[in-house]
């Protein structure tokens, strides 16, 4: 419903909220008074960051409705505590329970201020909102729609900055599983390396949204906890959902790349490379990859590097790609390993390590022919490389195995096709029904199929009978033709004398039974 243009002198001087309304402002200045119309059904109330869903109707003090979600029949959704609505709503809705209906009496200082919001809301207008809290959900920090990391603030922090990746953080945590506290301690670590301190990835992700001094409850789904492996140290089984209470005591932010000099960038890249290598040696390959990739961010671009630093940068950059490839090989991420080697070979086409490691990745990706080329290139560049020679032999053997397997597969495939072809083409004529698995059909379709089968069966029986009759008639015709030929031969031989003619007549006119065509008796007469 749209309000008519209002008199700009709409005053709250003659308006008095009911005495039952309570002050929900932090200053207790009466700026937002809440009157409960219907009690809610839950015990908890939404906290900053929660996504809330409400119905509302907004009125001026004279009763004019200037906005209503009910008129639109569409609930209104917003994130609490993020400045997306007027301050009166931030304060009032935060005190409501699920299912509660309340009226918020809002002075202009907590609404649209001195200017108002023309033409619907005049200057210095006191507003009245009837709000129903339909539902609310905890803030999801996973960055996905899986509600994998839910945050419920307990104590708000101070400041506006949050720690970034690689920032050193000091936290207090309390971990719970099924009501049992399994971990309670103060711990300091760098974001991105928390796994080495038994910190679940969900906590590291959540801390990037914390401010100093904040205390929040985090609900982690298995993916963001200890995953499918669990954590034997804490007695956490695979696939467990966890609850942590985390307090960010302090943090030290790492310097942004754009603020660094070329020397600082190169030094930081080398430092991260060394840390990653240490994790690699300790078989912490995932953390090693994370640090190697972070190091790339500092030197991935050559902008700003002086001439004397370019060669040093290129050497570190190549080493990082090679180390990432090796880590991926250990993690059995062979496609990623190949891609890292491709990048390294773009920088140095004759890199023995890049060629060898790409060959290893290709071999695991069932590409022995391509892998063999890389190993042969290694041998060409370094003839004494026995490891590459051994890999070439493995590639040759692998190619033979693949060829044999393909040959067998295709042979079986063609045989199956031929068998199916025989079944369909000859099975019916031989009275054999091809074996075909089909999904159950409805009764009408099954009935129609049976009718068609019966028609086909009768048709084939009639065809077989007609073919038999035809064959019999053709046999009789052949007998007649042969008999006629025999008689004709006899007549031809009798033309030389009457004696022969009379003997043939005697034979043919005799009351004795006529012998079969081709019998010895007829032959002797001829």
Question: Of 110, 112, 226, 298, which is the active-site residue?
Answer: 112
> Quick check: is 67 catalytic?
yes
419: helix, strand or coil? helix
**Angle 406-408-410 from CA coordinates, rounded to 5°:** 65
Among candidate residues 86, 149, 171, 392, the one labeled active-site is 86
Looking at 110, 121, 129, 292, which residue is catalytic?
129
* Buried-state track 167-188, b at ≥16 Cβ within 10 A, e below 16: bebebebebebeeeebbeeeee
Q: Is the peptide bond before 115 cis (omega within 30 degrees of 0)?
A: no
Residue 285 appears among annotated catalytic residues: no
* Beta-strand pair 101-106/149-155: unpaired
What does the DSSP assignment read for 46-77? --TT-EEEEEEEEEETTS-EEEEHHHHT--EE
Catalytic residue of the set 66, 110, 251, 375: 66
Set 67, 210, 324, 374: catalytic member: 67
Is 307 marked active-site?
no
Token pair recorded at residue 442 = 């409805």
**CB-facing half-sphere around the CA of 110: CA atoms within 13 A:** 25
Residue 230 φ/ψ region, left for φ over 0, alpha for ψ in the -120 to 50 degree band, beta for the rest: left
Report the Cα–Cα distance between both ends of the chain, in Å, rounded: 123
Distance CA(437)–CA(415), nearest Å, equals 19
Burial (CB count within 10 angstroms: exposed 0-12, middle 13-18, buried 19+), residue 493: middle
Count the residues in the chain.
Answer: 526
In angstroms, the CA 375 to CA 45 distance is 65
Q: Are strands 242-252 and 215-220 parallel, antiparallel or unpaired?
A: antiparallel
Report CA 342 to chain centroid distance, whole Å.
26
Is-catalytic flag, 114? Answer: no
Active site annotation includes 56: yes
Integer CA distances (angstroms), 372 to 152, 341, 366, 402, in order: 56, 15, 11, 14
Active site residues: 56, 66-67, 86, 112, 129
């Amino acid at each position: 419903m749209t309000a008519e243009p209002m008199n700009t002198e709409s005053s709250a001087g003659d308006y008095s909220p009911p005495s039952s309304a309570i002050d929900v402002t932090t200053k207790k200045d009466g700026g937002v008074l809440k009157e409960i119309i219907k009690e809610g059904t839950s015990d908890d109330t939404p906290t900053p960051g929660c996504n809330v869903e409400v119905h509302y109707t907004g009125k001026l003090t004279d009763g004019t409705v200037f906005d209503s979600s009910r008129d639109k029949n569409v609930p209104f959704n917003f994130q609490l505590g993020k400045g997306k609505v007027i301050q009166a709503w931030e304060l009032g809705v935060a005190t409501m329970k699920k299912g509660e209906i309340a009226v918020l009496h809002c002075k202009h200082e907590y609404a649209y201020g001195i200017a108002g919001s023309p033409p619907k809301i005049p200057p210095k207008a006191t507003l009245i909102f009837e709000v129903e809290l339909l539902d609310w959900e905890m803030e999801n920090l996973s960055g996905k729609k899986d509600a994998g990391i839910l945050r419920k603030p307990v104590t708000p922090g101070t400041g506006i900055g949050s720690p970034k990746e690689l920032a050193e953080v000091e936290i207090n945590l309390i971990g719970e599983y099924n009501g049992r506290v399994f971990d309670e301690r103060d711990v300091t670590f760098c974001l991105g390396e928390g796994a080495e301190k038994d910190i679940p990835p969900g906590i590291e992700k959540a801390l990037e949204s914390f401010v100093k001094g904040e205390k929040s409850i985090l609900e982690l789904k298995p993916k963001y906890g200890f995953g499918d492996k669990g954590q034997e140290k804490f007695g956490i089984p695979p696939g467990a959902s966890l609850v942590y209470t985390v307090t960010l005591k302090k943090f030290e932010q790492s310097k942004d790349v754009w603020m660094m000099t070329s020397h600082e960038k190169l030094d930081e890249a080398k430092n991260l490379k060394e840390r990653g290598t240490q994790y690699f040696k300790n078989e912490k390959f995932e953390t090693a990859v994370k640090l190697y990739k972070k190091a790339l961010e500092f030197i991935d671009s050559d902008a700003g590097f002086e001439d004397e630093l370019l060669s040093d940068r290129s050497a570190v950059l190549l080493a990082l790609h090679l180390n990432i490839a090796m880590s991926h090989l250990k993690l059995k991420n062979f496609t990623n390993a190949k891609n890292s080697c491709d990048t390294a070979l773009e920088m140095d086409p004759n890199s023995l390590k890049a060629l060898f490691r790409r060959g290893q990745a290709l071999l695991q990706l069932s590409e022995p022919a391509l892998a063999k080329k890389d190993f042969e290139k290694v041998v060409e560049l370094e003839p004494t490389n026995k490891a590459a020679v051994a890999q070439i032999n493995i590639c040759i053997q692998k190619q033979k195995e693949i060829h044999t397997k393909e040959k067998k597969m295709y042979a079986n495939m063609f045989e199956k096709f031929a068998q199916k072809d025989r079944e369909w083409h000859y099975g019916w004529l031989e009275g054999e029904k091809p074996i075909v698995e089909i999904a159950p059909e409805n009764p009408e379709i099954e009935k129609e199929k049976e009718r068609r089968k019966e028609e086909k069966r009768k048709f084939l029986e009639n065809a077989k009978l007609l073919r038999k009759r035809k064959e019999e008639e053709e046999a009789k015709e052949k007998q007649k033709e042969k008999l006629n030929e025999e008689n004709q031969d006899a007549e031809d031989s009798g033309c030389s004398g009457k004696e022969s003619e009379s003997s043939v007549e005697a034979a043919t006119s005799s009351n004795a039974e006529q012998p079969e065509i081709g019998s010895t008796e007829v032959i002797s007469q001829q």
